[in-house]
Amino acid sequence: MKIVLASASLRRQELLRQMGCAFEVLPSTVQEDNTLKLPTDELVVAHAKAKAMDVAGRSLDGTLVIGADTLVVLNGQVFGKPRSQIEAKDMLNALSGQEHKVVTGLAVIQCSSGHSWTDFSITQVKFGHLSQEEIDRYVASGEPMDKAGAYGIQEKGALFVESIHGCYFNVVGLPIYKLAKILKKAGVFLP
């Protein structure tokens, strides 16, 4: 069965390879709308499903399409990817010394039947206190600009993380345990 990842995220691609999954990449053109008045878990699932459906509409029968969306939530405020260095600094200042949630939605669509499976994962992440100098240096590195919440736990952003409770891979952007369970339901059994 052919599997397509509806994301250009190198981190998600790396995690799928780690799972032993053979796949192709066909990025979705869907733009996330974080202003929708939905609970965060429903919002990320809606985004993931919209991305998967977009790509499924361009794929052949017999294909499974994987969509995912990750957001950071602090006290009810949703942080997507920063649109500027100023926004990245604002996000990191807000997260400094705080515990926040990382929420990832998953959607898998079987093109031949239109059947879909969805799930989400939530991980609690606690940041240590960050100095303005640390934030400025990190933002100047460019690393936070394509990441929800303006940090990557698998890169230099790990220096800010005091603790996590939940799935580490969810914070990277793809909760692989939950994805493997969905793929199994769709008939894909990974090693």
Number of helices followed by number of strands (H, E) in the chain: 6, 7
pLDDT at 59: 83
Rg (CA), the chain: 17
Domain count, the chain: 1
CATH number at residue 165: 3.90.950.10
| Per-residue pLDDT tens listing for the chain (191 residues) | 899 999 999 999 999 999 999 999 999 999 999 989 999 999 999 999 999 999 999 988 889 999 999 999 999 999 999 999 999 999 999 999 999 999 999 999 999 999 999 999 999 999 999 999 999 999 999 999 999 999 999 999 999 999 999 999 999 999 999 999 999 999 999 98
Other C-beta atoms closer than 10 Å to the C-beta of 173 total: 23
Question: Is residue 167 in some structural domain?
Answer: yes
Residue 119 designated active-site: no
Sign of the torsion angle spanned by Cα atoms 22, 31, 91, 85: positive
Question: Is residue 40 in some structural domain?
Answer: yes
Q: 128, 160 in Cβ contact below 8 A?
A: yes
Catalytic residue (one of 69, 90, 119, 136)? 69
Can you give the residue range of the structural domain that contains 116? 2-185
Question: Is residue 190 in some structural domain?
Answer: no
**Which tokens in the block code for residue 175?**
């909760």
DSSP letter for 135, please. H
Question: Is residue 191 in some structural domain?
Answer: no
Task: State residue 175 phi and psi, 5-degree precision.
Answer: -70, 95
Question: Is residue 48 in some structural domain?
Answer: yes
